[in-house]
Chains A and B, each alone.
Chain A
Amino acid sequence: GAGVSQSPSNKVTEKGKDVELRCDPISGHTALYWYRQSLGQGLEFLIYFQGNSAPDKSGLPSDRFSAERTGGSVSTLTIQRTQQEDSAVYLCASSLGMFGYEQYFGPGTRLTVT
């Protein structure tokens, strides 16, 4: 079946602009995760959704970051007033549940803030 998809694959934006990143998880996966990966670095956990609910938003780097999930499916990560330090690959993953389930990652969105 189809895997996790993300759009856009690449996004170049000017500093100060808002961007919206989209994630389509695997159908039936109730858990959805957002991560950020800077060049050559590890994965930084941002937020987790169980269904449409995000129980803990403390992983978001600043209040410029927000995320939502609707219909237990599609999720969007919004970054307002982008800064150069926001440049990274944003990865989305989904799984059947939170603990004990493998995460299936999408191809990521490469965000470049100029």
Chain B
Amino acid sequence: GQQVMQIPQYQHVQEGEDFTTYCNSSTTLSNIQWYKQRPGGHPVFLIQLVKSGEVKKQKRLTFQFGEAKKNSSLHITATQTTDVGTYFCAVASGTYKYIFGTGTRLKVLA
């Protein structure tokens, strides 16, 4: 079956450092979504990527969809303590199922 892996599993950074998480699929994707889950909270939608090689930016966050549409990355520039949480990618699998990646838990040290 389809597999979606995220790396790294955990990342601790000093405030002001950059952070990147990667999402890799075993199959070609039609689109990919990114969500953020704060500690104790529920996932919140960040963005959706559809086109091969697409790059989207939201303030300090940069999202990229690979040329082959099998991988994606989320990059945060100059992390802040408000960036703490777990970042998930999500992909549609088959017709009726969504698969969430394993998640990358980000800790920002002030």
Quick check: A99 and B30 within 8 Å, CB to CB? yes
In the assembled complex, how far is the CB of residue B97 from the closest CB belonging to chain A, in whole angstroms? 5
> Cβ of B68 < 8 Å from any Cβ of A?
no
Quick check: B95 and A108 within 8 Å, CB to CB? no
> Cβ of B88 < 8 Å from any Cβ of A?
yes
Tally of A-B Cβ pairs under 8 angstroms: 52
In the assembled complex, how far is the CB of residue A22 from the closest CB belonging to chain B, in whole angstroms? 16
> Cβ of B25 < 8 Å from any Cβ of A?
no
Q: How many residues from A make CB contacts under 8 Å with B?
A: 21
Quick check: B97 and A48 within 8 Å, CB to CB? yes
Quick check: A42 and B102 within 8 Å, CB to CB? yes
Quick check: B45 and A104 within 8 Å, CB to CB? yes
Chain B residues with CB under 8 Å of A91's CB are 42-43
Q: How many residues from B make CB contacts under 8 Å with A?
A: 24
**Residue-wise interface mask of B (37-81) relative to A, using a CB-CB cutoff of 8 A (1 in contact, 0 not):** 000011111001010000000000000000000000000000000
A99 to B98, CA, bound (A): 9
Chain B residues with CB under 8 Å of A59's CB are 97
Chain A residues with CB under 8 Å of B85's CB are none
Quick check: A102 and B45 within 8 Å, CB to CB? yes
**Residue-wise interface mask of B (72-110) relative to A, using a CB-CB cutoff of 8 A (1 in contact, 0 not):** 000000000000000010101011111111110000000
> Cβ of B31 < 8 Å from any Cβ of A?
yes
> Cβ of B24 < 8 Å from any Cβ of A?
no
In the assembled complex, how far is the CB of residue B6 from the closest CB belonging to chain A, in whole angstroms? 9
Given the contacts A42-B101, A102-B48, A107 and B42 also touching, CB distance less than 8 Å: yes
Enumerate chain B interface residues (CB-CB to A < 8 A): 30-31, 33, 35, 41-45, 48, 50, 88, 90, 92, 94-103
Enumerate chain A interface residues (CB-CB to B < 8 A): 33, 35, 42-43, 45, 48, 55-56, 59, 91, 93, 98-100, 102-108
Enumerate 22 A-B pairs (CB-CB under 8 Å) in ascending A order.
A33-B98, A35-B100, A42-B100, A42-B102, A42-B103, A43-B100, A45-B97, A45-B99, A48-B96, A48-B97, A56-B94, A56-B95, A56-B97, A98-B92, A99-B30, A100-B31, A100-B50, A102-B45, A102-B48, A103-B90, A105-B42, A105-B43
